[in-house]
Amino acid sequence: MISRYTTPEMGSLWSEEAKFRSWLRVELAACRARATLGEIPTAEVEELAERADFTVERIEEIEAETNHDVIAFVTAVAETVEAKGAPDAARHFHFGLTSSDVVDTAGALRLRDALDLILDEAKRLALLLCDMSLDHRGTAMVGRTHGVHAEPTTFGHKLAVWAFEMERNLERLAHAQEAAAVGKISGAVGVYANVDPKVEVIACEELGLEPAPASTQVIQRDRHAEALSTLAVLGSTLEKIALEIRGAQRTEVRELEEPFGRGQKGSSAMPHKRNPILSERLCGMARLLRGYAQVGFEDNALWQERDISHSSAERVVLPDATTVAHYMLRTARRVLSGLRVNEERMLENLNMGGGIVFSGRVLLALVESGMSRDDAYAVVQGAAMRAWEGEGGFRELLRKSEEARTRLDDGLDGLFDPAYALRNVGAVFERVRELKGRIEGD
* Alpha-carbon torsion angle 304, 305, 310, 311, nearest 10: -150
Instruction: Determine how β-strand 256-257 pairs with β-strand 210-211.
Output: unpaired
CA dist 106 and 111 (Å) reads 9
Helix, strand, or coil here: 237? helix
Instruction: Determine how β-strand 210-211 pairs with β-strand 182-183.
Output: parallel
Q: What is the DSSP string of 254-295?
A: -SEE----TT--S-SS-TT----HHHHHHHHHHHHHHHHHHH
Q: How many helices (H) and strands (E) does the chain have?
A: 20, 6
CA distances from 329 to 175, 282, 322 (A): 19, 9, 11
Per DSSP, helices labelled H in 67-98 are: 69-83, 87-90
CA dist 150 and 147 (Å) reads 9
Amino acid at 333: R
Q: What are phi and psi of 178, to 5 degrees?
A: -60, -45
Instruction: Determine how β-strand 340-341 pairs with β-strand 210-211.
Output: unpaired
Which residues are known catalytic residues?
146, 267
